């Protein structure tokens, strides 16, 4: 089992490599199902997330990587598409899943896991169930080769 610090250093290294090579297509896989992922790097990119997007390809998602494992909460203000939110711990094991709907009027609902997580993956709503992603499912993160 990798320590959180070691894993974060590896992820940082690969993110830098991806930025420099421009050939990186980071993915996260759950058994046979893989998603090409965007990784917001700055606080502004994390706050923007998937806001104002009208479409997300079925094999795409956004992976939020946090500095600490805790109960990271999200809301759907200005997010136009329903999403499955999948929280993963430092070992890339699914700890919580929730389907989030677009917020049409404030106050917007807050979506938060019941268990601490280090990552949150957003994919199109319904894909978690369709692809048999559930609590304790192990993910594999491939940032760059």
- The CA-based diameter of the chain, rounded to the nearest angstrom, is 44
Q: Which residues contact 24 (CB under 8 A, 6 or more apart)?
A: 14, 17, 18, 143, 144, 145
Count of Cβ atoms closer than 10 Å to residue 16 Cβ: 13
Which pTM was predicted? 0.82
R_g (Cα) of the chain, nearest Å: 15
Structure tokens at 74: 């999200």
Average pLDDT over residues 131-145: 92
Structure tokens at 41: 């790097």
Structure tokens at 6: 């070691």
Average pLDDT over residues 91-107: 94
pLDDT for residue 9? 42
Q: 87 near 97, Cβ under 8 Å?
A: yes
Distance CA 45, CA 100 (A): 19
Give the pLDDT confidence of 9-30 residue by residue, as tens digits: 445 444 544 444 456 689 999 9
Count of Cβ atoms closer than 10 Å to residue 130 Cβ: 12
Evaluate if residue 7 carries a pLDDT over 70: no
With bands split at pLDDT 50, 70 and 90, how would you rate the model's confidence at 94?
very high
More confident residue, 46 or 18: 46
The three-class DSSP label of residue 129 is helix
The three-class DSSP label of residue 14 is helix
Structural domains of the chain ordered from first start: 4-142 (2.60.120.1140)
Evaluate if residue 6 carries a pLDDT over 50: no
């Amino acid at each position: 089992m990798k320590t959180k610090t070691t894993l974060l250093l590896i992820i940082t290294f690969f993110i830098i490599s991806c930025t420099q090579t421009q050939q990186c297509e980071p993915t996260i896989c759950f058994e046979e199902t893989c998603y090409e992922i965007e990784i917001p790097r700055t606080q502004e990119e994390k706050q923007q997330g998937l806001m104002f997007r009208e479409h997300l390809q079925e094999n795409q998602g956004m992976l939020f990587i946090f500095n600490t494992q805790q109960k990271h909460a999200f809301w759907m203000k200005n997010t136009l598409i329903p999403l499955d939110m999948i929280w993963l711990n430092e070992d890339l094991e699914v700890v919580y899943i929730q389907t989030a709907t677009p917020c049409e009027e404030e106050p917007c609902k807050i979506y938060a896991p019941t268990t601490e997580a280090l990552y949150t993956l957003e994919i199109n709503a319904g894909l978690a169930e369709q692809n048999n992603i559930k609590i304790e499912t192990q993910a594999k993160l491939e940032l760059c080769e």
